[in-house]
Amino acid sequence: MVERRKQGREDEVSAFGLSPFRDSLYRALWIATLFSYIGAAMYDVGASWLMTSLAPNPLFVSLITTASTLPIFLFALPSGALSDIFDRRNILLITCGYMFTVSIILGMLTLLGVTTPSFLLILTFALGAGTTMIRTPIISTMSALVSRSEMPAALTLSAVASNIGRAVGPTVGGFIVAAIAPWAVFFLNSASFIAMIIVLSKLPRKSQAQTLLPPENIIGAIRAQIRYVRHSQAAHVLMVRAGLFTLCSSALLSLLPLLAKHELRLDSTGFGLLLGS
């Protein structure tokens, strides 16, 4: 009877696509990733709202969006190449440590009142580069923790975590900026990387496969990616759709802080709710 009940619960979990959560490492990494997504969304609110005070003009405020998204264009291909060649666990640990340091520096500068528009843009770009370096290996790492049959569910749950972060993070970030200050959001964002580092340190190391082939270099891996995209019709369609969507959404998001503050007369809490809706 107990065995049947246990099997029934497992079947129910699988039916709802939650079977990857049965793996404790996947579950812990998913939770840490969720907090990381929330922290990143909180940072976007804090940085954008801070810029409306440091340099309240459309150019500088819109450059926050540019600084956070430009690294995707610059470093997406190298990120994929590195995650294919080197141990993803080490890449993630190094990148999370780097992003923790950048977030702490920005939090301290803002707390001391010495943050300038240039510093804010440079550190936002630095965090954007780290985010780009994390995206590819984190998805592959989470997928490797589950069986092949559970991989679609694992990928879906990764997308769910991202969407929850985008919905919850701006609201929480706006409230914290209004209640305390932007520096508090920056410090909380750095705390999310501590959780990631703790969980990642528990993951098993990648075993070195024995092969007679020469090791692939980064340039060769990037060329292989470009060659694949060039000959893939499906990739062409995805790139066009993603490019058009990003172009339109970025134009709106880049000026939303000024619109919320000066036209709609909202505080940071209202801006966070507007961004998360």
Q: Quick one: three-class SS letters along 201-260?
A: CCCCCCCCCCCCCCCCCHHHHHHHHHHHHHCCHHHHHHHHHHHHHHHHHHHHHHHHHHHH
What CA–CA distance (Å, rounded) separates 59 from 56?
9
Specify if 4 maps to a domain: no
Specify if 42 maps to a domain: yes
Q: So what's the pLDDT on residue 45?
A: 94
* pTM (predicted TM-score): 0.85
Are the C-beta atoms of residues 92 and 141 closer than 8 Å to each other?
Answer: yes
Tell me the residue range of the domain where 46 lies.
22-203+215-276
What CA–CA distance (Å, rounded) separates 25 from 32?
11
The CATH number given to whatever domain includes residue 268 is 1.20.1250.20
Specify if 151 maps to a domain: yes
Specify if 251 maps to a domain: yes
**How confident is the prediction for the chain on average, in pLDDT?**
85
- Residue 266, number of CB atoms within 10 A of its CB: 17
Instruction: State the total domains in the chain.
Output: 1
| Cβ neighbours for 252, distance < 8 A, ≥ 6 positions apart | none
Specify if 199 maps to a domain: yes
The residue behind tokens 């939650």 is 18
In tens, the pLDDT along 26-69 reads: 999 999 999 999 999 999 999 999 999 999 888 999 999 999 98
% the chain with pLDDT above 70:
90
What CA–CA distance (Å, rounded) separates 52 from 61?
6
Q: So what's the pLDDT on residue 2?
A: 46
Specify if 101 maps to a domain: yes
Specify if 86 maps to a domain: yes
Specify if 66 maps to a domain: yes
In tens, the pLDDT along 71-115 reads: 988 888 888 888 888 888 999 999 999 999 999 999 999 999 999
Q: How confident is the model at residue 274 (pLDDT cuts 50, 70, 90)?
A: confident
Buried b (16+ CB within 10 A) or exposed e, 123-146: bbbbbbbbbbbbbbbbbebbbebb
The pair phi, psi for residue 213, each rounded to 5°, is -80, 150
What CA–CA distance (Å, rounded) separates 198 from 201?
5
